[in-house]
Amino acid sequence: MAKFLVQKCGPLNGEVVISGAKNAVLPLMAAGILAEEECIIRDVPDLRDVMVMKEILRSLGTEVEEVEESVLRVQTRTVKTNEADYELVSKMRASFLIMGPLLARTGSAKVYSPGGCSIGKRPIDLHLKGFRALGAEVVIEDKYIEAKAGKDGLIGADIYLDFPSVGATENIMTAAVLAKGTTIIENAAKEPEIVDLANFLNKMGARIKGAGTDIIKIEGVEKLKGASHTVVPDRIEAGTYMLAAAITRGQILIKNIVPDHVKPITAKLRECGVRIEMTDEGMYVIADENPHMVATDIKTLPYPGFPTDIQSPFMAFLTTAEGESTVIETVFENRFMHVAELNRMGANIKTEGNKAVINGGKNLEGAQVIATDLRAGAAMVLAGLVAEGTTEIAEIYHIERGYEKFIEKFKALGANIFKIVS
């Protein structure tokens, strides 16, 4: 089993270039199902999840090839089957994002129902509510979800999302682009990845307005054409490296970052005493001037609130900030599994329901810990950078799913991190 070994290192210094966003590239690739012509997607990160999405698209009959490093050609001349392969789809929850495009392109789709995961039940009721509102008949079999458009195809509708679900907004948007008439999504998710997908779809000839606000209007069109697009930078990867500078009291220049997309992280780090400057080169995160970082309070919310995906990495940093911090997780129901792992390293964190109280300023000790999800894995690496001795992190496949060149980028900043296979 592969593990990461992380040893205490001094302040991280240097620069890091942020990759294209995992949570943008996956819906963008799925949207390639919607057009017969070729789509070119640039800044595609080299991730296991991207590899899985490539295989799923190929199983449907889509041509997917890497024309050069980080550039994919995606072309769906015809859809060979509208039933996604169970083995492939069961490897990654985000595979469900092919449902909307498949339904729009062929009028039917049969996809393995994504289960929950360690951070929560991850229901898909809002996705199905959207498909039904567009006139599709949706049948839930034991492991599969099957959706079939009505005899006149999908019909535009007004859809209210009880929660601004990212995936549901993406699936409904990609289903509605070829529907007859207009679709309004109310209480839509506003994440930058939603805007990136809408921009790509509009380049393909879709007519989407309001992406990035809570009301998205989609006027259905007959057909979409090919387009080319560059994936938006990964704000969660960027936040992870901002925290790497903060927790090690170093100084890192972060390149290929959209400052607006990390505003909540910037604001909170400034409250703790980190200096953050935006320059033409990128974002300087300067934490080597103020060794006494102070506590703050975090509450995760849908965008533009504090991102749930940065909650665990930020908590790792808060264990080193003097005073009592609180973290409230409002997006997922079970996203504190990293707390027990951090406490094994000497942190003093107590949880009660969706609230964690961190009594910071303690020195951490290296320990054997596990990555309980993608972002918690990154949190354990951050903690390992400042813990005395060596920290051994198991279940690191989570991390490799979502962070491109993770080891290389950290080593280039001066981190002592190694991958071992035992």
Where does this chain bind ligand EPZ (CB under 6 A)? 22-23, 26, 94, 120, 122-127, 163, 165-168, 189, 308-309, 331-332, 374-375, 402
Q: What is the CA radius of gyration of the chain?
A: 22
Other CB atoms closer than 10 Å to residue 38's CB: what's the count? 18
Angle 138-144-149 (CA atoms, 0-180°, nearest 5)? 30
In angstroms, give the least distance from the CB of 115 to ligand EPZ.
12
Q: Which is nearer to ligand EPZ, 58 or 122 (CB)?
A: 122
In angstroms, give the least distance from the CB of 108 to ligand EPZ.
20
Q: Which is nearer to ligand EPZ, 126 or 269 (CB)?
A: 126
Q: Which is nearer to ligand EPZ, 51 or 67 (CB)?
A: 51
Other CB atoms closer than 10 Å to residue 155's CB: what's the count? 18
Tell me if residue 9 is catalytic: no
In angstroms, give the least distance from the CB of 377 to ligand EPZ.
10
Per-residue tokens: 135: 């006139």
- Identify the CA nearest to 224 among candidates 171, 179, 168, 159: 179
Q: What's the distance, Cα to Cα, between the start and end of the chain in Å?
A: 5
Q: Which is nearer to ligand EPZ, 112 or 332 (CB)?
A: 332
The C-alpha atoms of residue 358 and residue 129 are separated, in whole angstroms, by: 39
Q: Which 3 state secondary structure label does DSSP give 331?
A: coil
Place of tokens 């995606």: 74
In angstroms, give the least distance from the CB of 18 to ligand EPZ.
14
In angstroms, give the least distance from the CB of 93 to ligand EPZ.
7
- Residue 92: half-sphere exposure toward Cβ, Cα within 13 Å: 25
Q: Which is nearer to ligand EPZ, 335 or 409 (CB)?
A: 335
Other CB atoms closer than 10 Å to residue 152's CB: what's the count? 8
- The single-letter code of the amino acid at 167 is G
Residue with the shortest CB distance to ligand EPZ:
167
| Residue tagged active-site, from 9, 39, 117, 272 | 117
Provide the annotated active-site residues: 117
